[in-house]
Amino acid sequence: MRFTGIPAVVCFIFFSCSLVFTGCFGNKDTHVRLKLAHGLNEAHPVHKGLLFMAQRALEKSDSTLVITIYPNEQLGNEKECIEKLQFGSLDITKVSSSALESFIPELGVYALPFLFRDADHKWQVFQGPIGKKLLDAGTFARLKGLAYYDAGARSFYTTKRPILHPDSLKGLKIRTQQSIMAMKMIAALGGSATPISWGELYTALQQGVVDGAENNPPSVYTANHHEISKYYCLDEHSAVPDIIMISTLTWNKLSAEHKRILQEAADESVIVQRQVWEEFVGDCLEKMQEKGLQVLHPDKQPFLDKGKELWKEFDGTIIGDLAKQISEVQ
């Protein structure tokens, strides 16, 4: 199945009334309007996947389930969107699993460096019992995961010097997400972790507030961080997924039919998002190199050795137990 594009009109459907629920939830013909917000721009594969999800939900429900999408942090950064889900002022968001750690501690396991052997192992975990269990781990916090999106592998990009070995990180301030695990990882590898929201990172790099950051190629490219970075070193130290999250306040009000339709639309969108992602990664790397960014391939073993030392800190904890279970998935 190839992705051939989605009508842009699905993205922005505005109503004069409140963009929440209307009518009686028991009636299958009830029109339900949901707000979905995320922090990435319209060119990103995640946004395209969400557009597809919105389109399929509209089609499958005979236009009774309408999702309006707000990209570019229009409704807040990742943490703010999560909190809005908890209070019911936002219905759905797409966030990195790292941003969910302070709400759902178990998800911190995904931020452990070199957790997955390869992409196949990663998706065996996400789509297997462990991944499905973790999607439901936040119901106590009014958060329910619908599906995982591919966020590839995260690597270092910097403005001062290339990161060809963990020792290269010494003395450098590296932007991280608002994630304890991400900060621990940077410290374990030798850098100085500096949490900054995604929307503020371009200026932080430009002004020297941080010396670098770590992320996947599509995110670096679509945020134009290659314009002010000199080196991108593909050590691929972690592979934290993106997660489509819905407020349980919203989910519990949906009819059984709309729950089924929304889950099916989310699952179908994963296939599209993964394909768009795979095609986009190579294109992004090529375009960034054309603009002058040096893309380098360091020896991963020294990074892996340093990163695995962090695992020992979690022996005997729920994170350590989950990491062991994940490593045993074939």
pLDDT (tens digit, 9 = 90+) per residue, 105-138? 999 999 999 999 999 999 999 999 999 999 999 9
Q: Is residue 295 part of a domain?
A: yes
Domain count, the chain: 2
Residues 267 and 135 in one domain: yes
- pLDDT of amino acid 319: 96
Pair 32, 55 in one domain: yes
pLDDT digits (tens, 9 = 90+) for 205-215: 999 999 999 99
34 and 166 co-located in one domain: no
Judgement on whether residues 220 and 271 belong to the same structural domain of the protein: no
Q: Is residue 119 situated within a structural domain?
A: no
My answer on whether 158 and 189 are in the same domain is: yes
Does one domain contain both 13 and 73?
yes
3-state helix, strand, coil in the chain (%, to 5): 45, 20, 35
Q: 1-15, 148-162, 257-271 — which is least confidently predicted?
A: 1-15
Q: What is the rounded average pLDDT of the residues 169-192? A: 93
User: Which residues contact residue 16 at a Cβ distance below 8 angstroms, ignoring those fewer than 6 apart?
Assistant: none
Residue 111 lies in a domain: no
% of the chain surpassing 90 pLDDT: 89
Phi-psi region of 171 (alpha: psi -120 to 50; beta: other; left: phi over 0): left
Q: Is the pLDDT of residue 326 over 90?
A: yes
Same domain, 182 and 275: no
> 158 in a domain, yes or no?
yes
Domain of residue 310: give its range: 154-239+282-324
Is the CB of residue 253 less than 8 Å from the CB of residue 91? no
Shared-domain flag, residues 168 and 245: no
- CATH of residue 190's domain is 3.40.190.170
